[in-house]
Amino acid sequence: RSPVLAFNLGTMPTTNRLVLQYRVRVGVGAQQGDGINRARAHVCSVPAGCVGPDGRTPLVGSVATNEGQARVRVSGGVFAPEACVLGKVFVDCNGNHVQDSEELGIPGVRLVLSDGTTLISDVEGKYSVCGLPPRSHVLRADPHTLPRGSRLTTSSNRNLGDAGSLWLDLKNGELHRADF
């Protein structure tokens, strides 16, 4: 969450070589384009380490290596501007708003987005749609397509006070889950 990462690698004899590798997960809010990843090691003879209590600030007396750089590019793919929505319509027997292993999905439920796009839940109650613009949408479940005797229940504050609708605030490239 900070632009600076620090790792305390402990003591190491001067005759050894150390390679530090790490992975970074880039979220949907990341800026697209070129960037430079920079790395530098600080060496010291203090047993407590070379950086201050914040884990980032080099202490006086530490010696810095040359800076290593790698060019990175964030683009397209899952970072496309369109969003996807997926979810399930399921029988919530115990009312905990989570589909437990014994609770079945409901097939054949018609779902309608605010732009008129319609979806039908599959044999497991699942549905999905991609290519949605990154903005606010409302998704409604058609109560006439529910099994006789069943009713929708409010599962979150995203229900707009109506158990049959969900407010979707979609972001660029987001994979958004919305269950009924």
Query: How much is the pLDDT for 82?
Result: 84
The band of 173, judged by pLDDT with boundaries at 50, 70 and 90, is confident
CA distances 92 to 69, 152, 154, Å, are 52, 9, 11
Residue 45 has pLDDT above 70, yes or no: no
8 Å CB contact between 81 and 74: no
Residue 18 has pLDDT above 80, yes or no: no
Phi, psi of 99 (to 5 degrees): -80, 110
Percent of the chain with pLDDT over 70: 70
Tokens of 78: 């899952």
Domains, the chain, ordered by start: 1-79 (no CATH), 80-177 (2.60.40.10)
**What pLDDT, in 10s, does the model give residues 76-133?**
655 577 888 999 988 887 878 778 888 889 999 999 999 888 999 999 999 999 888 9
Tokens of 152: 């929708």
Residue 134 has pLDDT above 60, yes or no: yes
Q: d(Cα 35, Cα 152) in Å, to the nearest integer?
A: 47
pTM summary value: 0.54
Of residues 132 and 33, more confidence is placed in 132
**What pLDDT, in 10s, does the model give residues 50-66?**
667 666 676 776 777 78
